[in-house]
Chain A
């Protein structure tokens, strides 16, 4: 009888099983389009190789009396042809399954992950390795130094942090909104020189336990106890009183017939869009958010002058607090704009959002948040509450949070893959299941892709969004998953 290793789910990740529903299964998808029809057999081999290297992905989610916990398993993943909708449910209570899946359809390889397991950045590490392993098999001639490369890349596990934020963007704070994922061996080696401790080869069990640990507890805070003290002390000071929150405009619509996520995708060359954002002096994320507000204002009759729109923008904390954890490690920042109180042009809105965002995305502010997260993680009272009650509380918190948001955003930024994947992958995709309209941004090889998801069938806001972009002279192409009865009528599956 094997005793399986397990790690309890951290509080941040706990929200995902607790707030999961038929409409929003809390699954996100990262995809890549290669330059040929995907070979399922090679993809399976690549998946097996990658799976070996990521002990965290062996986990199944189980329920205890006080906690959800991630438990090591002996399940093996299998590549399948895409037969389910985008972001189809992954975790079901009482059913012991892996918390991710890899599917392929024509030229696309997609990785779907249950959000309690990992965040976008963590999943991107997995997808990167998968794509590298796959293209190396598919194009064996193109990686002469394959062995050497593998040695260098394989850090034992997913110890693959992103480089520290580069000096990009013109605006202070642009950094946080503008991520760069250069997952090449070079940047990896560069970043890790002197940082990575030499470790004796460890067993799978140890790897699992280490990698499934809550991300907030992996930050090397012991390095700087004074900073910890200072930040902790500072936090005791009550925060400045916030201005009273106005009622936030929320988008409503018709639910999709079988509660599937409505997924649409706009892809375009990245450079001109970046140019537009730069011309306004803002980060891309804020520019695209402002466009989204504008698109909703144009389509939604309820969004009159004087209404407030709000967006939540996640910030990858690894940029500020080096951590090699692939677990959830982000903080969300809420930004809002009230229409009818001044200049409502997308550029002006974006600048306003940028200002608010920058104020909260400073290393100091994020450090305070991080320490709050650590404290919550260690808070004794949170421990003795039975899990069903915790889940109910988290579900309510999630619901209240949702009420104050018009849209959620996620930007994985610019991705660079190692050779030979880099030259064979074109566009990449990013979608997150959602209870309200959401858009996700990812760019690779000069292609910018914006993935729109929503629980509603309506697409008018995407139409306006696309028109805003094409009106600026950008060539946009649309790909959509069929969702409604009419769309699916008479189409071969």
Chain B
């Protein structure tokens, strides 16, 4: 075993210098009881910085649209491209940060994409296309997407029950808008609402006990 004269210590492992005082060591080295673990710089921290700065840019680019007003016709194409890129980037960010729970990602996706579309509609003279077409289609697609995802990756019920519940609730919002009379054409909203109700009924009849158990767990006081 090596020894450090300065500290009068025996030093285990193949150290060139004393880890405490930096002095030279004498004697034969023997293997260390600790492995040398290479430095690992936290990818998480890099991701977090990237994520926050991207979010900042996205929010700013959305807000900037307000400066241009409704009438700027020449801005039409440019604005669509701009908003399209920002939205895509937002979706990518969410996919990365929620990658461990696809059901959660779907909820975030619906809220974000729905929100952006309503805003977009508002920017372009508020003709109501977002509430009439985009929201119902988005919600229906997310419910179908959720069903496929759950089936394909064999997600555990506990993982998706809360978020699929939220997705279905979101699927009911077009019905609310319909009843408030904010929607021009009723059909998309009706289909979306019917789909949501069908899924709720399906979930409760097939997995009712498990759903109640999971909700009781999550909401336990």
Contacts and interface: CB of A to CB of B under 8 A. Distances in A.
B38 interface: yes
B33 A491 contact: no
A71 B213 CA distance: 12
Contacts of B45: 22
Interface stretch (A39-47, A121-129, A440-448, A476-484): A476-484
A480 B20 CA distance: 9
B19 A470 contact: no
Nearest to B12: A479
A81 B36 CA distance: 12
By CB atoms of chain A within 10 A, which of B39, B44, B221 has the most?
Answer: B39
Nearest to B38: A493
Interface size of A as a range:
35 or more
Interface in B143-165: 157-158
A463 to B, nearest CB: 4
A459 interface: yes
Given A69-B217, A94-B100, A94-B101, A479 B33 contact: yes
Contacts of A108: 33
Given A6-B217, A480-B19, A492-B36, A258 B41 contact: yes
Nearest to B219: A65
Contacts of B213: 3
B42 A477 contact: no
B138 interface: no
Contacts of A1: 157, 207, 210
B47 to A, nearest CB: 13
B208 to A, nearest CB: 11
Contacts of B218: 64-65
A178 interface: no
Nearest to A486: B17
Contact of B220 (A3, A8, A86, A459): A8
Nearest to B10: A477
B38 A488 contact: yes
A84 B33 contact: no
Given A64-B218, A69-B220, A479-B34, A257 B39 contact: yes
Interface in B196-210: 207, 209-210
A463 B210 CA distance: 58
Given A65-B219, A264-B19, A477-B9, A105 B100 contact: no
Interface in A234-263: 257-260, 263
Contacts of B20: 264, 459-460, 462-463, 466, 478
A481 B39 contact: no
B19 A105 contact: no
B61 interface: no
A8 B217 CA distance: 9
A113 B31 CA distance: 26
B92 to A, nearest CB: 19
A488 B209 CA distance: 54
Sort A-B residue pairs by CB-CB distance and give the 8 closest, nearest first.
A477-B10, A463-B20, A481-B34, A479-B12, A470-B8, A64-B218, A480-B19, A491-B36
12 contacts: A71-B217, A82-B34, A86-B34, A94-B101, A105-B34, A264-B20, A478-B4, A478-B20, A479-B12, A482-B34, A482-B37, A485-B39
Interface of A: 1, 3-4, 6, 8, 22, 33, 62, 64-67, 69, 71, 81-86, 94-95, 105-108, 257-260, 263-264, 383-384, 459-460, 462-463, 466-467, 470, 475-482, 485, 487-488, 491-493
Given A85-B37, A94-B100, A466-B20, 7 more contacts: A258-B40, A264-B20, A477-B9, A477-B12, A478-B12, A480-B15, A488-B38
